[in-house]
Amino acid sequence: MDRLQKMYVCKITEAREQSAIKVQETTRKKTNEEHKASRKERKKKKRRREAHAKHTKPPLHSYFHKLEDKRCQSGSNKGRQTRRGLCKGYFYGTIRRRTRKKKEGRMKKIKAVARSKRRKRKKGECVR
């Protein structure tokens, strides 16, 4: 039991040391080169994001652009919103368009059900 306990304690201390080293690594100040590299990476990502969004964005007043940017870069679906073109946003009636689409989908479903019921009646099957 004694040997096992020693091993256990040894493992724990080792793990603690490792985590302390990790913390030091993460909390230490970045060197100039590292800082530059990370900024470059961020810029690259941003450029890629903007390239996706470019064809969906209409030429708007800069104030609206700011609002759009905020909306596109919040929440879990950052990139997806720009690609779906929601960034055209509330200023171009997309909400109305979107609700219309939803309505159309509902109507299609209702019509499909009605059609199938009609067919069943024609055949003389039980229609609920």
- The residues, ordered by sequence, that sit 6+ positions from 89 with a Cβ below 8 Å of its Cβ are 64, 67, 68, 71
Using a pLDDT cut of 90, give the percent of the chain over it: 5
pLDDT at 41: 92
pTM: 0.24
Phi, psi of 61 (to 5 degrees): -60, 145
Contact yes or no for 51/79 (Cβ under 8 A): no
Contact yes or no for 88/57 (Cβ under 8 A): yes
The angle subtended at Cα 60 by Cα 55 and Cα 66, nearest 5°, is 95
Two tokens, residue 19:
């985590």
pLDDT at 91: 45
* Helix intervals (H) in 1-93: 2-27, 32-54, 62-72, 78-84
CA–CA gap between residue 87 and residue 48 (Å, rounded): 16
Two tokens, residue 68:
């759009």
pLDDT in tens for each of the 128 residues of the chain? 677 788 888 888 888 888 888 887 777 777 888 889 999 999 998 888 777 666 655 554 554 455 544 544 555 545 444 444 444 444 445 556 666 777 778 888 888 888 988 888 888 887 76
For the stretch 76-112, pLDDT in tens is 545 444 444 444 444 445 556 666 777 778 888 888 8
Two tokens, residue 72:
């596109």
- Give 85's DSSP letter: T
pLDDT at 90: 47
Q: Where are the domains of the chain?
A: 2-93, 94-128
